[in-house]
């Protein structure tokens, strides 16, 4: 494929190219090497550099542009240089499944709605997914939907009847059983989903509910029943995760042989594909193999839309195979809830930092999840420690933050979302003011020459954007790949990502700094830019004189220009 460097004249409406230099001279082009004006108005001589591999003329396209209504409002309110970069995921549950509650979250900045297949019925999940879709269609939001699988780790069953939780007190004896009971359960009885449970535990083992929210010691085994005495009292929630520890280490007997994706999970996945979810998050991933398997399964079934597979890092095995798991997946979640039950709590922050950093290097979006604002389940303000934790995740430049119980069943879901939003904005601003250009080394990740060109273009465009202090980066991308490469650089300015499919646009919602727009565009960058400028100007989202850098994945190029 012949690559050519074109220098084009300043007005985006003039014809291109005016000069063509073939690739071998690229390295020696004095124009290119000296192209570093530190000023916001461009000199009239050159306004754009385009590296192009084709010159196809496009058909004229429809004159509409779609952007998430809440993002548009945020941009107008804060000015687009200050638009929030960190994305927000909210778990939907009984506190937020109503249409009005969902709308309040969308208005509050929810980018992705998560449904957890551990809880609720199929009908309930369907109704939430459809409500989100309806909200998008009727109110102009672009909220994506993430389905999170149950996985087959050991957990408690429902508590019987309509009990929302059960309280275990110090010294009480509770029975954990693999028997099936008719509801209501006998007093102080908990069912366990894993048949091998009673065989695998030993008298003297420590049993942790939800990673230590409640602790028991195993005192007796009677067939399928395991009697335990409570040593650390607390509240047990339905389907809470169970781990058992012996001599200070996590015990993983036969349960480590359980499949990552259970037969129930496969049914849920079929359901998610049929309902057109945007992301499937896989719980307790142990290896890259399961991710590859699921990705080919999804690719064969979900022909029109492309569902992204997110690996949840929440087990010891996932830490052991971290890099290959992240490479295989389309994104990762630092699922600190279960992770903190499998490794000592004091190791969780370092694991988080490592996962966030690796995802950035490998160009996969990463979500930091669980207990970010746990106290807000009950209280309207967060603790100082929680705010510090959220700040740290933003400072690490994670793509997204997630609410769990805070939005699923808490008393203050909207307030919790507001805290995430305002802390994100504040820390991002502080970062830009301090001009902290990070020391993160971004390795080359391209697997082909063509990918390398995209990667070099994005790295250079992001660097130019910082040096020139441009107002925004524009990226025209069909697959979303170029947008993610720009996001990976975490540039100072926001990234307007134009894509022509609704599903790609929704998926870009999870990535740091991207403002996804749906726009029908052609291979002709000049006409794309002109049309985009006039559409955005008409919406009051940009103005004449704004300095932008544009790149595209059809016509591999970097253009620098003032909005006419």
Ligand X SMILES: Nc1ncnc2c1ncn2[C@@H]1O[C@H](COP(=O)(O)OP(=O)(O)OP(=O)(O)O)[C@@H](O)[C@H]1O
Contact residues for ligand PYR, defined by CB under 6 A: 283, 312, 314, 335-338, 369-370, 404
Which of 68, 338, 399, 471 binds Mg ion (CB under 5 A)? It is 338
Smallest gap from Cβ 8 to ligand PYR, in A, equals 48
Report the chain's C-alpha Rg in angstroms: 26
The listed partner (ligand X, Mg ion, ligand PYR, none) that binds 237, CB under 5 to 8 Å by sort, is ligand X
Smallest gap from Cβ 361 to K ion, in A, equals 26
Smallest gap from Cβ 240 to ligand PYR, in A, equals 11
Nearest to 436 by CA among 362, 512, 491, 502: 491
User: 545: helix, coil or strand?
Assistant: coil
Nearer to ligand X, 294 or 408 (CB): 408
Nearer to ligand PYR, 85 or 312 (CB): 312
Q: Which residues bind ligand X (CB under 6 A)?
A: 91, 93-94, 116, 118-120, 148, 237, 239, 283, 337-338, 404-405, 408-409
Under rule CB under 5 A, which residues in 502-521 are in contact with Mg ion?
none
Smallest gap from Cβ 404 to ligand PYR, in A, equals 6
Residue 561 CA, chain-centre distance (Å), reads 31
| Virtual torsion, Cα 356, 359, 364, 370, nearest 10 deg | -30
Q: Where would I find the H helices in 37-84?
A: 69-78
Total residues belonging to the chain: 564
Asked if 262 is part of the footprint of K ion (rule: CB under 5 A), the reply reads no
Nearer to ligand PYR, 352 or 528 (CB): 352
Smallest gap from Cβ 424 to ligand PYR, in A, equals 19
| Virtual torsion, Cα 40, 42, 47, 48, nearest 10 deg | -30
Smallest gap from Cβ 352 to ligand PYR, in A, equals 11
Nearer to ligand X, 94 or 184 (CB): 94
**Unique residue bearing structure tokens 């700094």:** 513
The listed partner (ligand X, K ion, Mg ion, none) that binds 409, CB under 5 to 8 Å by sort, is ligand X
Sorted by sequence, the CB contacts under 8 Å of residue 225 that are 6+ apart come out as 175, 176, 177, 179, 198
10 Å CB burial of residue 544 (0-12, 13-18, 19+) is exposed
Contact 132, 113 (CB under 8 A): yes
Alpha carbon distance 561, 546 (integer Å): 8
Nearer to ligand X, 373 or 563 (CB): 373
Q: What count of other Cβ atoms lies within 10 Å of the Cβ of residue 350?
A: 10
The listed partner (ligand PYR, K ion, Mg ion, none) that binds 336, CB under 5 to 8 Å by sort, is ligand PYR
Smallest gap from Cβ 214 to K ion, in A, equals 19
Smallest gap from Cβ 251 to K ion, in A, equals 22
**Through-space distance between the first and last CA atoms of the chain, rounded to whole angstroms:** 33
Smallest gap from Cβ 25 to ligand X, in A, equals 55
Alpha carbon distance 83, 70 (integer Å): 11
Nearest to 496 by CA among 86, 70, 145, 80: 80
The listed partner (Mg ion, K ion, ligand X, none) that binds 405, CB under 5 to 8 Å by sort, is ligand X
Nearer to ligand X, 113 or 483 (CB): 113
Contact pattern from residue 301 through residue 320 relative to Mg ion, giving x for each residue in contact according to CB under 5 A and a dash for the rest: -------------x------
Asked if 335 is part of the footprint of Mg ion (rule: CB under 5 A), the reply reads yes
The listed partner (ligand PYR, K ion, Mg ion, none) that binds 330, CB under 5 to 8 Å by sort, is none
Asked if 348 is part of the footprint of Mg ion (rule: CB under 5 A), the reply reads no
Smallest gap from Cβ 314 to ligand X, in A, equals 7
Contact window for K ion (CB under 5 A) among 145-153, 319-327, 353-361, 408-416: 145-153
Asked if 283 is part of the footprint of K ion (rule: CB under 5 A), the reply reads yes
Smallest gap from Cβ 284 to ligand PYR, in A, equals 8
Phi, psi (deg, nearest 5) at residue 400: -145, 155
Alpha carbon distance 493, 512 (integer Å): 11
Alpha carbon distance 338, 315 (integer Å): 7
Alpha carbon distance 51, 453 (integer Å): 9
Alpha carbon distance 267, 98 (integer Å): 25
Q: Which two tokens stand for residue 538?
A: 């008409």
The listed partner (K ion, Mg ion, ligand PYR, none) that binds 118, CB under 5 to 8 Å by sort, is K ion
Q: Which two tokens stand for residue 248?
A: 């200070």
Which of 26, 118, 319, 343 binds K ion (CB under 5 A)? It is 118
Alpha carbon distance 92, 129 (integer Å): 10
Nearer to ligand PYR, 128 or 369 (CB): 369
Contact window for K ion (CB under 5 A) among 147-155, 159-167, 244-252, 425-433: 147-155
Q: Which two tokens stand for residue 489?
A: 């650089």
The contact set with Mg ion (CB under 5 A) reads 314, 335, 337-338
């Amino acid at each position: 494929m012949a690559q050519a460097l074109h220098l084009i004249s300043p007005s985006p409406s003039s014809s291109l190219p005016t000069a063509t230099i073939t690739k071998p001279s690229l390295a020696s082009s004095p124009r290119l090497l000296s192209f570093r004006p530190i000023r916001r108005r461009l000199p009239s001589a050159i306004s754009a550099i385009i590296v192009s591999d084709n010159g196809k003329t496009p058909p004229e396209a429809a004159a509409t542009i779609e952007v998430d209504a809440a993002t548009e409002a945020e941009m107008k309110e804060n000015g687009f240089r200050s638009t929030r970069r960190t994305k927000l995921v909210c778990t939907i549950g009984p506190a937020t499944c109503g249409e009005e509650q969902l709308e309040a979250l969308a208005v509050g900045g929810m980018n992705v709605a998560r449904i957890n297949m551990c809880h609720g019925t199929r009908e309930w999940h369907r109704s939430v997914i459809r409500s989100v879709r309806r909200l998008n269609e009727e109110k102009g939001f672009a909220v994506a939907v993430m389905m999170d699988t149950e996985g087959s780790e050991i957990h408690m069953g429902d508590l019987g009847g309509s009990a929302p939780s059960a309280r275990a007190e110090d010294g009480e004896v509770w029975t954990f059983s693999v028997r099936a009971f008719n509801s209501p359960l006998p007093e102080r009885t908990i069912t366990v989903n894993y048949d091998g449970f009673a065989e695998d535990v030993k008298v003297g083992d420590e049993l942790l509910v939800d990673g230590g929210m409640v602790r028991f010691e195993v005192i007796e085994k009677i067939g399928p029943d395991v009697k335990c005495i409570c040593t650390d009292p607390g509240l047990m929630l339905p389907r809470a995760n169970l781990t058992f520890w012996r001599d200070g280490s996590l015990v993983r007997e036969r349960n480590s042989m359980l499949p990552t994706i259970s037969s129930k999970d496969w049914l849920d996945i079929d359901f998610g594909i049929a309902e057109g979810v945007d992301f499937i998050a896989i719980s307790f991933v142990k290896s890259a193999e399961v991710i590859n398997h699921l990705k080919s399964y999804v690719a064969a079934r979900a022909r029109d839309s492309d569902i992204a597979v997110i690996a949840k890092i929440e087990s010891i095995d996932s830490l052991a195979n971290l890099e290959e798991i992240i490479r295989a997946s389309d994104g990762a979640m630092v699922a600190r809830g279960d992770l903190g039950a499998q490794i000592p709590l004091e190791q969780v922050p370092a694991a988080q930092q490592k996962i966030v950093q690796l995802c950035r290097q490998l160009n996969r979006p990463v979500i930091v999840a669980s207990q970010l604002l746990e106290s807000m389940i009950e209280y309207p303000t967060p603790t100082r420690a929680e705010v510090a934790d959220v700040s740290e995740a933003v400072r690490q430049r994670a793509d997204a933050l997630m609410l769990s119980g805070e939005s699923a069943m808490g008393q203050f879901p909207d307030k919790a979302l507001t805290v995430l939003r305002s802390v994100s904005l504040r820390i991002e601003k502080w970062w830009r003011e301090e001009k902290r250009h990070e020391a993160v080394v971004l390795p080359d990740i391209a697997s082909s020459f063509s990918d390398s060109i995209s990667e070099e273009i994005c790295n250079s465009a992001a660097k130019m954007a910082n040096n020139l202090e441009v107002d925004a980066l524009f990226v025209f991308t069909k697959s979303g790949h170029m947008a993610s490469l720009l996001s990976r650089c975490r540039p100072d300015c926001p990234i307007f990502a134009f894509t022509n499919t609704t599903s790609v646009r929704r998926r870009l919602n999870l990535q740091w700094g991207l403002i996804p727009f749906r726009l029908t565009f052609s291979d002709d960058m000049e006409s794309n830019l002109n049309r985009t400028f006039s559409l955005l100007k008409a919406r009051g989202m940009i103005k004449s004189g704004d300095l932008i850098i544009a790149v595209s994945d059809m016509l591999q190029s970097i253009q620098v220009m003032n909005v006419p």
